[in-house]
Amino acid sequence: MCTTKPFFDPLHLTELSFDALMEWLLSRSTTELVSLAQQVCAETYGNKVFLRGLIEFSNECLCDCLYCGIRKSNHKAQRYTLSDEEILETVKKGLSFGFKTFVLQSGEYRIELPERMARLLYQLRHITGEDVAFTLSCGVYPREVYREWKKAGANRYLLRFETSDESLFARLCPGKTLSKRLQALDDLKAEGYAVGSGFMVGLPGETVAIRLRNVLLCRELQLEMVGIGPFLPHPDTPLASESPLPIEETIRITALLRLLLPWANIPATTAAGSLHPQGREMMLAAGANVLMPNITPTEKKHHYLLYPNKICLDEDGWECLSCLSLRVASVGKEISFERGESILRDFSSPSFYFEKKPISH
């Protein structure tokens, strides 16, 4: 059992009202926020950075989110789906490099996916045994599908809520609702998954208050993993003419997440590295503790373009490993091949340290 004190809240931020928290945030410099988050991250995860092998197995999608490069209306996107053999081979190779966690990500609402994924997970489990964690990130499905996937061997699920603002969500994701996405997160938790969610920073129409509410929603949901990254306008989407916020905004929000969710696994995302050459290092320095090298076969990587200028597309994911070790070392951290559960898992009773009462809005 982990002996670290899991709920480290030296600033008593969780006792502040929404307005007081906003005032506190706006009056802190980025350097101050980063330094506080670093202390909390060191208390919880030391200097470890957990690796997850990301396999983007299909860019087919029936959704039409305005921000997303693989939305169904983007006819320029060249569609692909990896075969079971390609996925199995990629996982086997990952195992030989020491990976203990794989993330299988795709577009959403693929009618044939439920059965295929269950079959694939049984096959994957057969070759990995119980030591390895599988994370799925395939969108919203009925609860029974999540149950089947869990039975077949999935452990974790990533489903970003994208924005905590209902009307902004409805505008950006036609035909979808925030409440359905939040229901899916509840379903996943009820089915026993380690649940991850998150949001984009700087979506068009997002205010500073929405951004803070995004962070607070992550806390209220008691997420074990939080994925955030800057919104980056894709040229073949309706949001092509929008501008991203400077990387600093993502860094400040990363630091605040670490302060309010000390237990969470927080990846330093590719989107941050695509906006700024040191974006991932800056996120790691601000409390992120996970990296997800993209181990999708190189010839397919180019077609999973959620946003432009995505980094590491020409490199083989395996080549990325040495580059990542150097980047991680540059911020005084060290790559770890452990399975890397959230420390939330290490305590039998979450209420031991998590005050259920949400921060009042």
- Among ligand FES, ligand SAM, none, the one that 206 touches (CB under a kind-dependent 5 to 8 A) is none
Of the candidates 52, 60, 108, 285, which one interacts with ligand SAM according to CB under 6 A? Answer: 108
Nearer to ligand SAM, 66 or 329 (CB): 66
Q: Residue 110, Cα to own-chain centre: how many angstroms?
A: 21
Q: Which is nearer to ligand SAM, 212 or 239 (CB)?
A: 239
Looking at residues 4 to 43 of the shown chain, list those that interact with ligand FES (rule: CB under 6 A). Answer: none
Among 44, 51, 71, 266, binds ligand FES (CB under 6 A): 71
Beta-sheet strands, E only, within 242-333: 290-291
Q: Which of 159, 172, 221, 282 lies at the binding interface for ligand SAM (CB under 6 A)?
A: 159
Does 68 participate in binding ligand FES (rule CB under 6 A)?
yes
Q: Does 105 bind ligand SAM (CB under 6 A)?
A: yes
- DSSP class of 327: H
Q: State yes or no: residue 137 binds ligand SAM (CB under 6 A).
A: yes
- Given a contact cutoff of 8 angstroms between Cβ atoms, the answer to whether 303 and 59 are in contact is yes
Picking from 169, 308, 168, 162, the residue whose alpha carbon sits closest to that of residue 244 is 308
**Does residue 209 contact residue 23 with C-beta atoms inside 8 Å?**
no
Q: Give whichever of 234 and 333 is closer to ligand SAM, judged by the CB atom.
A: 234
Q: Is 63 in the site for ligand FES (CB under 6 A)?
A: yes
> Is 65 a residue that touches ligand FES (CB under 6 A)?
yes
Q: Are 159 and 181 in contact (CB under 8 A)?
A: yes
Q: Pairing between strand 225-230 and 194-201?
A: parallel
CB atoms closer than 10 angstroms to residue 97: 14
- For 112, the token pair is 């044939």
160 lies in the binding site for ligand SAM (CB under 6 A):
yes
Report in angstroms how near the CB of residue 329 gets to ligand SAM at its nearest: 27
Min dist. Cβ of residue 162 to ligand SAM (A):
5
The string of DSSP codes covering 6-55 is S---TT-GGGS-HHHHHHHHHTS-HHHHHHHHHHHHHHHHTTEEEE-EEE
Residues 100-119 that bind ligand FES (CB under 6 A): 107-108
Residue type, 141: Y
**HSE-CB of 114 using CA atoms within 13 angstroms:** 11
Total residues contacting ligand FES (rule CB under 6 A)? 8
Distance CA 215, CA 212 (A): 5
Place of tokens 């490069």: 69
The stretch near ligand FES (CB under 6 A) out of 60-68, 82-90, 246-254, 279-287 is 60-68
Residue 306 binds ligand SAM, judged by CB under 6 A: yes
Q: In the complex, which residues of this chain contact ligand SAM (CB under 6 A)?
A: 67-68, 105, 107-108, 137-139, 159-160, 162, 200, 229, 231-232, 234, 271, 306-307
Q: In the complex, which residues of this chain contact ligand FES (CB under 6 A)?
A: 61, 63, 65, 68, 70-71, 107-108
